[in-house]
């Protein structure tokens, strides 16, 4: 026989005795530890998820802003931005219009007596403002350019017609 077996036979009485454990106490402790770890871990994971989501959102925003900045084209804001020839034509039209408006003293005219002319001028100016807003979007679109040139020509014609209908002392 072996030493180990001898020791087991000698201690058999002690080994056969069953130790009684308080299982309720053990399970309560295990449950408390599991819930404490689970809730603490969940808070940490939720915080980490929010942090990751905010980081990704910031990266996407920066990427979109950078891409928009890289792809930015120079868009014309007026006819003079498109070509020197158009700039000269626009300047000539604007000088002619300013001269005629100063000669007619357009701000001092009787609004009721010359309402058809003034309403038409207002309509032309509002159309021009719309064309100017469209110019950066469409750029060198031929239809838009000819509409802008036509605006200046119509405004000059309308001011000339108004000048013909004014009494001689006012013009």
Arithmetic mean of pLDDT over the chain: 78
pLDDT score, position 35 = 76
Listed by start position, the domains of the chain span 12-70, 79-165
pLDDT score, position 142 = 77
pLDDT in tens, 137-160: 776 677 777 878 888 888 888 888
Mean pLDDT over 111-117 rounds to: 83
State the Cα–Cα distance between residues 156 and 165, nearest whole angstrom: 15
The pair phi, psi for residue 170, each rounded to 5°, is -85, -25
Asked if the model's pLDDT at residue 165 lies above 70, the reply is yes
State the Cα–Cα distance between residues 136 and 33, nearest whole angstrom: 66
Q: What predicted TM-score, i.e. pTM, was given to this entire model?
A: 0.50
Alpha-carbon Rg of the chain, whole angstroms?
Answer: 44
State the Cα–Cα distance between residues 138 and 75, nearest whole angstrom: 9
State the Cα–Cα distance between residues 30 and 35, nearest whole angstrom: 9
Mean pLDDT over 6-14 rounds to: 82
pLDDT score, position 57 = 87
CB neighbours of residue 140 within 10 Å: 11
What confidence tier does 74 reach under pLDDT thresholds 50, 70, 90? Answer: very low
pLDDT score, position 75 = 47
């Amino acid at each position: 026989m072996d030493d180990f077996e001898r020791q087991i036979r000698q201690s058999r009485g002690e080994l056969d005795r069953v130790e009684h454990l308080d299982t309720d106490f053990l399970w309560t402790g295990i449950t408390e530890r599991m819930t404490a770890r689970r809730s603490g871990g969940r808070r940490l994971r939720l915080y980490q998820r929010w942090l990751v989501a905010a980081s990704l959102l910031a990266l996407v925003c920066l990427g979109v802003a950078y891409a928009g900045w890289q792809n930015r084209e120079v868009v014309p804001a007026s006819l003079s931005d498109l070509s020197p020839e158009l700039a000269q034509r626009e300047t000539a039209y604007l000088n002619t219009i300013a001269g005629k408006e100063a000669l007619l003293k357009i701000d001092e005219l009787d609004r009721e007596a010359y309402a058809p002319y003034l309403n038409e001028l207002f309509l032309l100016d509002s159309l021009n403002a719309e064309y100017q807003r469209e110019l950066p979007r469409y750029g060198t679109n031929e239809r838009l350019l000819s509409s802008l040139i036509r605006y200046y020509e119509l405004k000059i014609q309308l001011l000339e017609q108004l000048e013909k209908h004014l009494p001689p002392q006012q013009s």
